[in-house]
Protein backbone atom coordinates (compact mmCIF):
# COMPACT_ATOMS: atom_id res chain seq x y z
CA UNK A 1 0.00 0.00 0.00
CA UNK A 2 1.32 3.42 -0.95
CA UNK A 3 0.22 6.40 1.16
CA UNK A 4 1.01 10.04 0.40
CA UNK A 5 1.01 12.79 3.01
CA UNK A 6 -0.15 16.13 1.61
CA UNK A 7 -0.26 19.43 3.43
CA UNK A 8 1.80 22.55 4.03
CA UNK A 9 4.84 22.47 6.28
CA UNK A 10 3.91 22.32 9.95
CA UNK A 11 0.57 20.58 9.50
CA UNK A 12 1.81 17.37 11.10
CA UNK A 13 2.62 15.20 8.10
CA UNK A 14 5.75 13.78 9.69
CA UNK A 15 4.03 13.01 12.98
CA UNK A 16 1.14 11.17 11.35
CA UNK A 17 3.40 9.33 8.90
CA UNK A 18 5.62 8.23 11.78
CA UNK A 19 2.71 6.84 13.79
CA UNK A 20 1.33 4.94 10.79
CA UNK A 21 4.82 3.60 10.08
CA UNK A 22 5.20 2.33 13.65
CA UNK A 23 1.92 0.44 13.40
CA UNK A 24 2.29 -0.97 9.87
CA UNK A 25 6.10 -1.31 9.69
CA UNK A 26 5.99 0.43 6.30
CA UNK A 27 8.88 2.89 5.96
CA UNK A 28 8.24 6.59 6.24
CA UNK A 29 9.99 8.05 3.23
CA UNK A 30 10.63 11.74 3.80
CA UNK A 31 12.32 13.77 1.10
CA UNK A 32 13.33 16.19 3.83
CA UNK A 33 15.23 13.44 5.64
CA UNK A 34 16.80 12.26 2.38
CA UNK A 35 17.92 15.81 1.59
CA UNK A 36 19.30 16.42 5.09
CA UNK A 37 21.22 13.14 5.03
CA UNK A 38 22.81 13.98 1.69
CA UNK A 39 23.54 17.55 2.79
CA UNK A 40 25.21 16.41 6.04
CA UNK A 41 27.25 13.85 4.10
CA UNK A 42 28.08 16.51 1.49
CA UNK A 43 27.15 14.28 -1.44
CA UNK A 44 26.95 15.82 -4.90
CA UNK A 45 23.14 15.78 -4.85
CA UNK A 46 23.15 17.08 -1.29
CA UNK A 47 25.29 20.08 -2.17
CA UNK A 48 22.99 20.92 -5.08
CA UNK A 49 19.84 20.44 -2.99
CA UNK A 50 21.16 22.72 -0.24
CA UNK A 51 21.43 25.62 -2.70
CA UNK A 52 17.64 25.57 -3.04
CA UNK A 53 16.60 24.52 0.48
CA UNK A 54 18.64 27.27 2.16
CA UNK A 55 16.64 29.82 0.17
CA UNK A 56 13.29 28.18 0.91
CA UNK A 57 12.89 27.09 -2.72
CA UNK A 58 11.72 23.70 -4.01
CA UNK A 59 14.47 21.30 -5.06
CA UNK A 60 14.27 20.58 -8.85
CA UNK A 61 12.86 17.26 -10.05
CA UNK A 62 16.18 16.16 -11.56
CA UNK A 63 17.56 16.03 -7.99
CA UNK A 64 14.47 14.91 -6.07
CA UNK A 65 13.00 12.17 -8.28
CA UNK A 66 16.14 9.96 -8.51
CA UNK A 67 16.44 10.03 -4.70
CA UNK A 68 12.81 8.96 -4.20
CA UNK A 69 12.93 6.24 -6.87
CA UNK A 70 16.02 4.73 -5.27
CA UNK A 71 14.32 4.71 -1.85
CA UNK A 72 11.11 3.11 -3.14
CA UNK A 73 13.14 0.30 -4.70
CA UNK A 74 14.68 -0.73 -1.39
CA UNK A 75 13.56 -3.99 0.23
CA UNK A 76 11.78 -2.48 3.25
CA UNK A 77 9.36 -0.63 0.93
CA UNK A 78 8.27 -3.82 -0.83
CA UNK A 79 4.90 -4.18 0.93
CA UNK A 80 4.12 -0.54 1.53
CA UNK A 81 5.50 2.96 1.98
CA UNK A 82 4.42 6.33 3.33
CA UNK A 83 5.66 9.26 1.25
CA UNK A 84 6.10 12.45 3.25
CA UNK A 85 7.06 15.48 1.17
CA UNK A 86 6.74 13.89 -2.27
CA UNK A 87 5.23 14.53 -4.73
CA UNK A 88 5.12 18.32 -4.53
CA UNK A 89 3.98 19.07 -8.09
CA UNK A 90 1.62 17.57 -10.67
CA UNK A 91 4.64 16.62 -12.77
CA UNK A 92 6.14 14.67 -9.88
CA UNK A 93 2.78 12.99 -9.22
CA UNK A 94 2.52 11.81 -12.80
CA UNK A 95 6.09 10.55 -12.71
CA UNK A 96 5.33 8.65 -9.50
CA UNK A 97 2.26 7.06 -11.09
CA UNK A 98 4.42 5.85 -13.98
CA UNK A 99 7.05 4.41 -11.66
CA UNK A 100 4.51 2.60 -9.48
CA UNK A 101 2.62 1.24 -12.48
CA UNK A 102 5.80 -0.43 -13.74
CA UNK A 103 5.87 -2.55 -10.59
CA UNK A 104 2.12 -3.17 -10.47
CA UNK A 105 1.49 -0.64 -7.70
CA UNK A 106 -0.49 2.59 -7.33
CA UNK A 107 -1.19 5.37 -4.87
CA UNK A 108 -3.84 3.92 -2.54
CA UNK A 109 -4.46 6.82 -0.14
CA UNK A 110 -3.61 10.52 0.00
CA UNK A 111 -4.01 12.21 3.39
CA UNK A 112 -4.42 15.96 2.90
CA UNK A 113 -3.85 18.02 6.07
CA UNK A 114 -5.04 21.58 6.58
CA UNK A 115 -4.13 23.99 9.41
CA UNK A 116 -4.61 27.78 9.80
CA UNK A 117 -1.54 29.69 8.57
CA UNK A 118 -0.92 31.51 11.88
CA UNK A 119 -0.90 28.18 13.70
CA UNK A 120 1.47 26.66 11.13
CA UNK A 121 4.01 29.46 11.56
CA UNK A 122 3.91 29.18 15.35
CA UNK A 123 4.32 25.40 15.19
CA UNK A 124 7.33 25.61 12.90
CA UNK A 125 9.06 28.23 15.03
CA UNK A 126 8.60 26.00 18.09
CA UNK A 127 9.36 22.67 16.35
CA UNK A 128 12.37 20.66 17.42
CA UNK A 129 13.71 17.47 15.81
CA UNK A 130 16.00 14.71 17.02
CA UNK A 131 19.56 15.11 15.76
CA UNK A 132 19.80 11.32 15.38
CA UNK A 133 18.95 10.56 11.74
CA UNK A 134 17.96 7.00 12.69
CA UNK A 135 15.37 8.30 15.17
CA UNK A 136 13.83 11.38 13.48
CA UNK A 137 11.43 12.04 16.39
CA UNK A 138 9.69 15.42 16.26
CA UNK A 139 8.63 17.61 19.18
CA UNK A 140 7.05 20.99 19.80
CA UNK A 141 8.11 23.10 22.75
CA UNK A 142 4.49 24.17 23.29
CA UNK A 143 2.25 21.32 22.14
CA UNK A 144 4.46 18.25 22.54
CA UNK A 145 7.60 19.02 24.55
CA UNK A 146 10.16 16.34 25.45
CA UNK A 147 10.24 15.07 29.03
CA UNK A 148 13.70 16.58 29.44
CA UNK A 149 14.28 19.91 27.71
CA UNK A 150 16.46 19.55 24.63
CA UNK A 151 16.67 15.74 24.87
CA UNK A 152 14.83 13.18 22.72
CA UNK A 153 12.50 10.91 24.73
CA UNK A 154 13.13 7.97 22.40
CA UNK A 155 16.90 7.82 21.99
CA UNK A 156 18.40 10.44 24.30
CA UNK A 157 20.01 12.46 21.52
CA UNK A 158 20.09 16.24 21.43
CA UNK A 159 17.13 18.04 19.87
CA UNK A 160 17.71 20.82 17.38
CA UNK A 161 15.81 23.42 15.43
CA UNK A 162 15.99 23.07 11.68
CA UNK A 163 17.60 26.05 10.02
CA UNK A 164 14.60 26.53 7.73
CA UNK A 165 12.26 26.63 10.78
CA UNK A 166 13.99 29.54 12.52
CA UNK A 167 12.95 32.37 10.22
CA UNK A 168 9.31 33.45 9.86
CA UNK A 169 10.04 35.16 6.54
CA UNK A 170 11.46 31.93 5.06
CA UNK A 171 8.49 30.00 6.49
CA UNK A 172 6.01 32.34 4.79
CA UNK A 173 7.87 31.94 1.51
CA UNK A 174 7.67 28.14 1.80
CA UNK A 175 3.94 28.35 2.48
CA UNK A 176 3.43 30.54 -0.60
CA UNK A 177 5.35 28.05 -2.72
CA UNK A 178 3.18 25.25 -1.38
CA UNK A 179 -0.04 27.10 -2.14
CA UNK A 180 1.06 27.97 -5.66
CA UNK A 181 2.76 24.75 -6.74
CA UNK A 182 1.68 21.90 -4.49
CA UNK A 183 -1.96 22.55 -3.58
CA UNK A 184 -3.14 21.62 -7.14
CA UNK A 185 -2.29 18.05 -6.12
CA UNK A 186 -5.38 18.11 -3.91
CA UNK A 187 -7.61 18.27 -6.98
CA UNK A 188 -5.42 15.80 -8.87
CA UNK A 189 -5.85 13.10 -6.24
CA UNK A 190 -9.45 14.04 -5.51
CA UNK A 191 -10.30 13.23 -9.12
CA UNK A 192 -8.64 9.84 -8.65
CA UNK A 193 -10.86 9.15 -5.65
CA UNK A 194 -8.03 8.56 -3.16
CA UNK A 195 -8.05 11.88 -1.27
CA UNK A 196 -8.83 12.13 2.44
CA UNK A 197 -8.80 15.68 3.87
CA UNK A 198 -8.29 16.22 7.60
CA UNK A 199 -8.10 19.47 9.59
CA UNK A 200 -5.42 19.47 12.26
CA UNK A 201 -5.76 22.39 14.67
CA UNK A 202 -5.85 23.24 18.35
CA UNK A 203 -8.96 25.31 17.58
CA UNK A 204 -11.00 22.12 17.06
CA UNK A 205 -8.95 20.01 19.47
CA UNK A 206 -7.88 17.59 16.75
CA UNK A 207 -4.19 16.89 16.42
CA UNK A 208 -2.01 14.58 14.34
CA UNK A 209 -2.30 11.68 16.76
CA UNK A 210 -6.09 11.72 16.40
CA UNK A 211 -5.88 11.59 12.62
CA UNK A 212 -3.30 8.79 12.73
CA UNK A 213 -5.49 6.65 15.00
CA UNK A 214 -8.46 6.97 12.63
CA UNK A 215 -6.38 6.22 9.54
CA UNK A 216 -4.81 3.14 11.14
CA UNK A 217 -8.26 1.84 12.07
CA UNK A 218 -9.42 2.24 8.47
CA UNK A 219 -6.31 0.55 7.07
CA UNK A 220 -6.94 -2.48 9.26
CA UNK A 221 -10.56 -2.88 8.16
What are the catalytic residues? Answer: 13, 88, 127, 162, 174
Q: Are the C-beta atoms of residues 107 and 96 closer than 8 Å to each other? A: yes
Nearest-angstrom CA–CA distance, 120 and 72: 29
Nearest-angstrom CA–CA distance, 140 and 111: 22
CB atoms under 10 Å from CB of 199, counted, come to 14
Q: Are the C-beta atoms of residues 5 and 111 closer than 8 Å to each other? A: yes
Q: Are the C-beta atoms of residues 84 and 30 closer than 8 Å to each other? A: yes
CA distances in angstroms from 212 to 12, 121, 136, 163, 215, listed in the order given: 10, 22, 17, 27, 5
Strands (E), 27-123: 28-30, 81-84, 107-114
For 97-127, give one letter per residue: b (16+ CB within 10 A) or e: beebeeeebebebbbbbebeeebbbbbbbbb
Q: Are the C-beta atoms of residues 127 and 213 closer than 8 Å to each other? A: no
Amino acid sequence: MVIIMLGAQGTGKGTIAGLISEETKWPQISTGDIFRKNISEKTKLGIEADKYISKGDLVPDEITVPMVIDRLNQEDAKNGAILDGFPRTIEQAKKLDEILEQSGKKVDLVINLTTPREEIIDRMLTRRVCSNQECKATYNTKLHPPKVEGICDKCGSQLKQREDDSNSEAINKRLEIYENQTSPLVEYYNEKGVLRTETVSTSINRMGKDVAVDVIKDIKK
